[in-house]
Chains A and B, each alone.
Chain A
Amino acid sequence: MTLLAIIIILFAGGIIAWLSERYLQKGGRWISLVSLLLAALLLVNYWSYLGTPQSVSGGPWWDSLQAAWIPRFGISFHLAVDGLSFLMLTLTIAMGIFGLVMTWNDINFRRGFFYFNFLWTLAGVVGVFTAIDLFLFFFFWEVMLIPMLFLIAVWGYEKRIYAAIKFFIFTQASSLLMLIAIVGLAYIHYRNSGQLTFNYNELLGAELTANAAYWLMLGFFIAFIVKLPALPFHTWLPDAHTQAPTAGSILLAAILLKTGAYGLLRFNLPLFPESSMAFAPVAMTIGAISVIYGAMLAFAQRDMKRLVAYSSVSHMGFVLLGLYALDTIAVQGAVMQMIAHGLSTAALFALVGALQHRLHTRDMQQLGGVWAILPKLSAVALFFAIASLGLPGLGNFVAEFTVLVGSFRSNHWITALAAIGLIGAALYALLMMQRVFFGKLRNQFESPSESGDTADLSLRESCALLSLALLLVVIGLRPQPIFNISEPTVTQAIAEIKAVAPDQNLLSSQSQRQEILISTGDKSP
């Protein structure tokens, strides 16, 4: 029931925020904050599961809720949460609160409708991370798009309509392929077993011919890597990110991109183990190329938001690489990268947004020497830029290092190629720092005539940003608790794959041993 309550609170909060616009001028943001805090409180319910070993709780799911929805097709309203979902839910709610607090005063018109869309996007994402019925998953997958579309199209910057339509058509057209794959999977299962169902747990056992599985896998894969985004389908991302309002960029970068990675790990790998294994080299190559290509393009940008957007392509390439290394350590790294990238990129977008709010530009050729007028903001930006390039001691380093270590055993050459991307990351992150914050102050910013405009970070913004920074440090220094939470899901997914590959027993036992090393690491305090 807790899961349903979270989703209902977010949906209802959105509607109330919209309706209240007429009576409370700025009430919408308080209503949003209260609903998000309530959702966070509900999430704390699951705290008790964190310590318990998996065998005690019985089955992989911590909590689930099932109700008949469309019995005609064997579709049920089935939500469930496990370690991976819990991590993603926490990230979602936390980034929701962060985005809301960072843009507390930014929205000047149609506030009610803005907070409506903001909360509905979050509600859709919560649904995506907890839906266990494939039809329900697709339902939420679509529900989160429409409010996001409005966020970009109404409150975005200059080319917002173009960006919004591009974003929507890319994700929607690809998700239709996924819908066909979902229905195809359910239909084949129905033909084999006589039972029509969209339940994930039952479809896991579907018997597919190799050919059918490969095509179905591709249907899912394309939908997920469009969202991720990986190389051939990434072009919507820079536009959407750049044109979206700050809060929208934060949601996109921190949460929406993660739904693609989550889908790959939750659905693609366990549902189609054989074909995923056959496809792994291709997917890893796409991941590695995305890493390098994203870094190169980020390096070439003038617009700060585009730079951060392309850096996302690069970072999510690591996720793809790690997931398809089909190795427990690499997948664990990918999960860590999802979280670390969520935190650091959300902060970077928030900072670029704050900078634009104050200086009215995000063109790096017009900026320079900002440190002199905005010291606090610049220092925080330095921290997150360095986090993003993967400085040891911060979350991103742990994530990227683990991905590379894990993938190296699967495929040396591709991993080596991807590692080059780390150099690119250092280049673009430092270049951005140098161009924007160091150097000589440009004339037009020298005399802060409108003193209110160029005020440094307020207490509210500082607190929000510093708490993210703190989180990154904590994750960087002590990542083991997070590995422990996601471990059951990851090992199960990998076990499914190893089960179909007897010839790789050697590799499997090797990774088992590594796993034990990692999971025993924290038992000794």
Chain B
Amino acid sequence: MNAQELFGILPLLLVSAGIVILLLQVSFWRGHVGALATTIITLVLAGISCFWVAGTLSTGASSIQVTGLLLVDHTSLFFALLLLLTAIAVCIMGYSYLRMRCNPKVNSGSYPEEFYILLLLAMLGATTLVFASHFATFFLGLELISLALYPMLGFAVNGDLSPQKEQLQSLESAIKYLLLSALSTALGLFGIALIYSASGSLSFSGIASHMTELSQTSTLFATGVTLLLISVAFKLSLVPFHIWTPDVYQGAPTPTTALIATVGKGAVIGFLLRFFSTLDLYESQVLIDMLSIAAVASMLVGNLLALMQTNIKRLLAYSSIGHIGYLIVAFIIGKSTFGTEAVIYYLVAYIITTLGAFAVVGLIADSVEEKVLNGEYPENPTLNSENPYQCDFYRGLLWRSPWLAGCMAAMLLSLAGIPLTIGFIGKFYIFTAGIEGQLWILLASVVIGSALGLFYYLRLLLIMVQRDNIVTEEPSGSVQIATSGNLLLIILTGALLVFGIFPQLLINWINAL
């Protein structure tokens, strides 16, 4: 391993160093704000190093192969940067979540700092996954994400200040994810073993060199790839491997939900893009058919089930199933450069929007929780309109807190794919990709899915503008959130609008890869 190789994986090294520093820092000096600061500095430095590495890549070789395990190229650096930025947003949400619920001053058994260590671990896994060019690093990255996520999903138990019900649901979601994730990992491992026995290699390029003799004949290889895809589909919560999604999303602390919905999926998409293009699996009709069926099912099932939800986190969970379905449409034609561009654009749109939606939900819930702990609000709300996770809570929000509701409305419109938002450009990409690949059935499902999606996004949007309770308007009805949260929302909403109105900016960046 020479200096250039070490330099290539600088983002990974920085995140690892951040983890070690944070561990040491926490063992000597516990402090919530200190841990947050170290985490954000680590993430920012890692993000900057992505630019740095990309700068040397454009002057020299187009990619750096690091020890046969990792391959650093422009696309993977873009993914890494995207995921690191996402993690910063999750940090800010996490701070807002933990500040009240996990306060060592109130309950000495609270350890909020661990959240950030786990977050950095998950990020190390995610960045490893997008740089992976070998099944060993693939597995390492995937498992590192999952292992860090289990405690994060159950984090509500920490400190014992969260409501009893929230703690139970949080534990439930952690256990569910643990069991199902273990199952999918086992399937994936078996798939890797089959691929190895068929091709005799574990590195992607090694397998690719055997592809010519493998592709048509070997059932062993096809079975292996199918099993691997099932494991990946589980992480992406593609139908029919989506069963865990709503429960886990609902029960988990909202920042963790945002993390699992964005980083968890984005990293896997990054891996899939590289895996498929290196092995040229787009040629395999069976795989494409399977992906198509999963995509159609995801779009229809996700959107149909979302219609019936009243819990806003469950609603977003089902809607994210549908959105990954849309993304797969672009993925299927990914062999052209345009397909890759469409996938990346849609992923960026999806991440910004999902992050924004969960940020609004989480920040609102945090402000309610603050009132509960101060004794201004019932701890176990009986009415749906008092539970911050129920749609009914959002009734007339536009009149109570116009700014928050405006952000939420922008996110919902973006999810629904309405112009002026980034979601519209994303959907435009999907349509263009579908037409280029002449995937008419998939396109029809996109249209049906979008029409269904409109219904529940609009219902929520209209609940927010309902005028019924203007008579009983009280100052206490408004929702106050912290400055850091406001800043996060401004940035996310700004990005959503800027990339929606001037998409060329983002397109240029993607094409500069």
Chain A residues packing against B (C-beta within 8 Å): 69-73, 109-110, 135, 138-139, 142-143, 145-146, 149-150, 153-154, 161, 164-165, 168-169, 172-173, 176-177, 179-180, 183-184, 187
**A146-B418, A180-B443 given as contacts; is B454 within 8 A of A173 (CB)?**
yes
Cβ–Cβ contact A153 & B462, under 8 A: yes
**A146-B418, A173-B451, A187-B432 given as contacts; is B443 within 8 A of A71 (CB)?**
no
Measured CB to CB, the nearest residue on chain B to A196 is B432
Cβ–Cβ contact B465 & A143, under 8 A: no
Q: Which of B482-504 contact A (CB under 8 A)?
A: 502-504
In the complex, 12 of the A-B residue pairs with CB atoms within 8 angstroms, ordered by the A residue number, are A70-B504, A70-B507, A72-B507, A73-B432, A109-B470, A143-B420, A146-B418, A165-B462, A168-B454, A168-B458, A172-B450, A187-B436
Enumerate chain B residues within 8 angstroms of A183, measured Cβ to Cβ.
428, 431-432, 435
How far is A183 from B431 in the complex, measured between Cα atoms in Å? Answer: 7
A162, chain B: closest CB distance, angstroms: 10
Enumerate chain B residues within 8 angstroms of A72, measured Cβ to Cβ.
503-504, 507, 511
Measured CB to CB, the nearest residue on chain A to B413 is A146
A69, chain B: closest CB distance, angstroms: 7
Say whether B7 faces chain A, with CB atoms less than 8 Å apart: no
Say whether B52 faces chain A, with CB atoms less than 8 Å apart: no
How far is A135 from B424 in the complex, measured between Cα atoms in Å? Answer: 12
Measured CB to CB, the nearest residue on chain A to B511 is A72
Cβ–Cβ contact A176 & B435, under 8 A: no
Say whether B467 faces chain A, with CB atoms less than 8 Å apart: yes
How far is A257 from B287 in the complex, measured between Cα atoms in Å? Answer: 46
Best-buried of B419, B431, B443, B503 by chain A (most CB within 10 Å): B419
Question: Which one of A138, A142, A165, A177 lies within 8 Å of B459 (CB-CB)?
Answer: A165
B176, chain A: closest CB distance, angstroms: 34
How far is A169 from B456 in the complex, measured between Cα atoms in Å? Answer: 11
Say whether B447 faces chain A, with CB atoms less than 8 Å apart: yes
B120, chain A: closest CB distance, angstroms: 36
Question: Which one of A70, A110, A150 lies within 8 Å of B503 (CB-CB)?
Answer: A70
Cβ–Cβ contact A109 & B419, under 8 A: no
Enumerate chain B residues within 8 angstroms of A161, measured Cβ to Cβ.
459, 462, 466
Question: Which one of B443, B455, B504, B511 lies within 8 Å of A165 (CB-CB)?
Answer: B455
Q: Which of B419-475 contact A (CB under 8 A)?
A: 419-420, 424, 428, 431-432, 434-436, 443, 446-447, 450-451, 454-455, 458-459, 462, 465-467, 470
Say whether B241 faces chain A, with CB atoms less than 8 Å apart: no
Chain B residues packing against A (C-beta within 8 Å): 399, 413, 418-420, 424, 428, 431-432, 434-436, 443, 446-447, 450-451, 454-455, 458-459, 462, 465-467, 470, 502-504, 507, 511
Cβ–Cβ contact B418 & A142, under 8 A: yes
Cβ–Cβ contact B419 & A142, under 8 A: yes
Best-buried of A142, A173, A176 by chain B (most CB within 10 Å): A176
Enumerate chain B residues within 8 angstroms of A143, measured Cβ to Cβ.
419-420
Cβ–Cβ contact B399 & A184, under 8 A: no
B155, chain A: closest CB distance, angstroms: 38
Cβ–Cβ contact A150 & B507, under 8 A: no
Cβ–Cβ contact A172 & B454, under 8 A: yes
Question: Which one of B428, B435, B458, B466 lies within 8 Å of A187 (CB-CB)?
Answer: B435
Measured CB to CB, the nearest residue on chain B to A146 is B418
Enumerate chain B residues within 8 angstroms of A179, measured Cβ to Cβ.
428, 431
Measured CB to CB, the nearest residue on chain B to A70 is B504
A50, chain B: closest CB distance, angstroms: 33
Enumerate chain B residues within 8 angstroms of A70, measured Cβ to Cβ.
503-504, 507
Cβ–Cβ contact A169 & B451, under 8 A: yes
Cβ–Cβ contact A172 & B451, under 8 A: yes
A223, chain B: closest CB distance, angstroms: 12
Enumerate chain A residues within 8 angstroms of B466, measured Cβ to Cβ.
154, 161
A75, chain B: closest CB distance, angstroms: 9
**A72-B504, A143-B420, A183-B432 given as contacts; is B454 within 8 A of A169 (CB)?**
yes
Extra 19 A-B pairs, beta carbons < 8 Å, given A110-B399, A180-B435? A69-B504, A110-B467, A142-B418, A146-B413, A153-B465, A161-B466, A164-B462, A165-B455, A168-B454, A169-B455, A172-B450, A172-B454, A173-B447, A176-B450, A183-B428, A183-B431, A183-B432, A187-B432, A187-B436
How far is A523 from B484 in the complex, measured between Cα atoms in Å? Answer: 70
**A73-B432, A165-B458 given as contacts; is B419 within 8 A of A139 (CB)?**
yes
How far is A69 from B428 in the complex, measured between Cα atoms in Å? Answer: 15
Q: Taking chain A's interface residues, is the majority helix, strand, or loop, or is none over half, making it mixed?
A: helix
Q: Taking chain B's interface residues, is the majority helix, strand, or loop, or is none over half, making it mixed?
A: helix
**A70-B503, A180-B435, A180-B447 given as contacts; is B458 within 8 A of A149 (CB)?**
yes
How many residue pairs, one in A and one in B, have C-beta atoms under 8 Å apart? 76
Cβ–Cβ contact A154 & B428, under 8 A: no
Enumerate chain B residues within 8 angstroms of A110, measured Cβ to Cβ.
399, 467
How far is A172 from B450 in the complex, measured between Cα atoms in Å? Answer: 9
How far is A37 from B458 in the complex, measured between Cα atoms in Å? Answer: 33
Enumerate chain A residues within 8 angstroms of B424, measured Cβ to Cβ.
142
Question: Which one of A71, A173, A176 lies within 8 Å of B504 (CB-CB)?
Answer: A71
How far is A184 from B413 in the complex, measured between Cα atoms in Å? Answer: 24
Measured CB to CB, the nearest residue on chain B to A149 is B458
Cβ–Cβ contact B431 & A150, under 8 A: no
**A142-B418, A173-B447 given as contacts; is B454 within 8 A of A154 (CB)?**
no
A-B pairs, top 8 by smallest CB distance, nearest first, are A173-B451, A142-B419, A72-B507, A139-B419, A176-B447, A153-B462, A70-B504, A183-B435
Question: Which one of B451, B455, B459, B511 lies within 8 Å of A176 (CB-CB)?
Answer: B451
**A169-B455, A172-B451, A173-B450 given as contacts; is B435 within 8 A of A184 (CB)?**
yes
Measured CB to CB, the nearest residue on chain A to B470 is A109
How far is A109 from B398 in the complex, measured between Cα atoms in Å? Answer: 13
Enumerate chain B residues within 8 angstroms of A109, measured Cβ to Cβ.
467, 470
B337, chain A: closest CB distance, angstroms: 12
How far is A187 from B437 in the complex, measured between Cα atoms in Å? Answer: 11
A96, chain B: closest CB distance, angstroms: 21
Question: Which one of B428, B436, B447 lies within 8 Å of A177 (CB-CB)?
Answer: B447
How far is A459 from B217 in the complex, measured between Cα atoms in Å? Answer: 86
Measured CB to CB, the nearest residue on chain B to A154 is B465
Question: Which one of B431, B470, B503 lies within 8 Å of A180 (CB-CB)?
Answer: B431
How far is A412 from B416 in the complex, measured between Cα atoms in Å? Answer: 46
Measured CB to CB, the nearest residue on chain B to A69 is B504
A401, chain B: closest CB distance, angstroms: 40
Best-buried of A69, A72, A73, A173 by chain B (most CB within 10 Å): A72
Enumerate chain B residues within 8 angstroms of A153, measured Cβ to Cβ.
462, 465
Enumerate chain A residues within 8 angstroms of B447, measured Cβ to Cβ.
173, 176-177, 180
How far is A153 from B462 in the complex, measured between Cα atoms in Å? Answer: 7
A247, chain B: closest CB distance, angstroms: 16
Enumerate chain B residues within 8 angstroms of A73, measured Cβ to Cβ.
432
Measured CB to CB, the nearest residue on chain B to A141 is B419
How far is A150 from B463 in the complex, measured between Cα atoms in Å? Answer: 11
How far is A172 from B466 in the complex, measured between Cα atoms in Å? Answer: 21
Enumerate chain A residues within 8 angstroms of B502, measured Cβ to Cβ.
69
How far is A165 from B436 in the complex, measured between Cα atoms in Å? Answer: 32
B475, chain A: closest CB distance, angstroms: 16
Measured CB to CB, the nearest residue on chain A to B402 is A113
How far is A138 from B427 in the complex, measured between Cα atoms in Å? Answer: 13
How far is A73 from B435 in the complex, measured between Cα atoms in Å? Answer: 14
Enumerate chain B residues within 8 angstroms of A138, measured Cβ to Cβ.
419
A87, chain B: closest CB distance, angstroms: 26
How far is A206 from B413 in the complex, measured between Cα atoms in Å? Answer: 33
How far is A169 from B447 in the complex, measured between Cα atoms in Å? Answer: 11
Enumerate chain A residues within 8 angstroms of B511, measured Cβ to Cβ.
72
Question: Which one of A135, A154, A173, A177 lies within 8 Å of B467 (CB-CB)?
Answer: A154
Enumerate chain A residues within 8 angstroms of B420, measured Cβ to Cβ.
143
How far is A73 from B345 in the complex, measured between Cα atoms in Å? Answer: 14
Best-buried of B399, B424, B465, B503 by chain A (most CB within 10 Å): B465
B495, chain A: closest CB distance, angstroms: 17
Measured CB to CB, the nearest residue on chain A to B425 is A70
Measured CB to CB, the nearest residue on chain A to B432 is A183
Measured CB to CB, the nearest residue on chain B to A153 is B462
How far is A154 from B504 in the complex, measured between Cα atoms in Å? Answer: 35
Enumerate chain A residues within 8 angstroms of B450, measured Cβ to Cβ.
172-173, 176
How far is A164 from B463 in the complex, measured between Cα atoms in Å? Answer: 12
